[in-house]
Amino acid sequence: MPTSAEQAADWLLSGLELRSTLFHVGRYCGAYRASTAGHQRASFHLVLEGTCWLHLPAKEGRAAQSTRLVAGDAVFLMHDMAHCLTPDPNAPSDDEYAVRIGAMMPLDTLDGSHDGIALACGFFEFRSDLGEAITGLLPDHILARHDDTKLAGARTLFDLIRVEAARAQDAPSPLINRLTDALFFYALRAVASADDFAPGLWSVMRRSEFTPLVSAIIEKPGDDWTTHTMAAFCHMSRARFCKQFAQVCGQPPAQFLALLRMKVAAEMLRHGASTLSTAEHVGYQSESAFAQAFKRVTGLPPGTCRREPAGVAQTPVH
């Protein structure tokens, strides 16, 4: 049973089977506008050498952003979204984001003697059943800064990525994919420990009035966790509990409860438990009702989760 917000967050993330796929490694010089948008996939950019600017256009609830990136920084875009990397601190106009400029050249070396920017770019996905449900609670992009003290261990990973990128020019090393997976989880850890991150998953985990509730649900998911009982557990009125929980989490408590229960259920199924015993453990009297709830949250029937092998082959990207 988790005893802290960070442990609860680790538990929730433990079933995410991240799979990164390297798209290209190379160098831009002069004027360029690079992007992985338009592929209908989440993506990442690792700055191997040099500096650039990440531009994000304005969207509902967020102003346009321009962020300087330097060697050692990484950005993970949680879904296909308009963005671009340029050498210019001034953002392009909205209709220019989709227009690429410049061509990526071979990396050659990573010794600091070249101009421009050296990048490793690619795509990632969560192959587990709860991927979409959990990432829906996260911000639309996550920055991993090279000088973030919470990412001290990730600097070793980044150095290994640079070595792998420089040693295989014709066929980028597949090890970069796995190193990127680990780097991304370091970035998630940093998000989890940010005091000012709200609203979202980590806010619920870190709020003292809600953390005991999350831990209690994880320990006994089959208990009668109605909105009333959850509110009583937190020593709040039902109205106050629903309002504060939704403000912090971005979704109602019943939806969050379903996510936690299906996370427990997915782990049980992967370890060979029957659908009936799993349903009863997470609070469902009917196997069919559980199956419907599981598919509604995860997008998959329970049997698929149980049959899924531990390692899923990747689909290569040119």
CATH of the domain at 158: 2.60.120
Q: Are residues 172 and 278 in the same domain?
A: no
Domain for residue 198, yes or no?
Answer: no
Give the CATH number of the domain where residue 232 resides: 1.10.10.60
Q: Are residues 76 and 51 in the same domain?
A: yes
Domain that holds residue 99: 17-192
pLDDT score for 296: 87
User: Nearest-5° angle of CA 204, CA 209, CA 213?
Assistant: 70
Domain for residue 57, yes or no?
Answer: yes
Model confidence pLDDT, tens digit, residues 35-90:
999 999 999 999 999 999 999 999 876 789 999 999 999 999 988 999 999 999 99
Distances 109 to 24, 106, 163, 164, 166 between C-alpha atoms, Å: 15, 9, 10, 11, 6
Separation between Cα atoms, residue 51 and residue 149, nearest integer Å: 20
Domain for residue 197, yes or no?
Answer: no
Domain for residue 181, yes or no?
Answer: yes
Q: Are residues 183 and 237 in the same domain?
A: no
Model confidence pLDDT, tens digit, residues 197-246:
333 556 676 678 888 888 888 889 999 999 999 999 999 999 999 999 98
Domain for residue 26, yes or no?
Answer: yes
pTM (two decimals)? 0.66
Domains identified in the chain, total number = 2
pLDDT score for 281: 94
CB neighbour class for 37 (10 Å; exposed up to 12, middle 13-18, buried from 19): middle
Model confidence pLDDT, tens digit, residues 280-312:
999 999 999 999 999 888 878 888 776 544 333
Q: Are residues 279 and 141 in the same domain?
A: no
Q: Are residues 171 and 224 in the same domain?
A: no
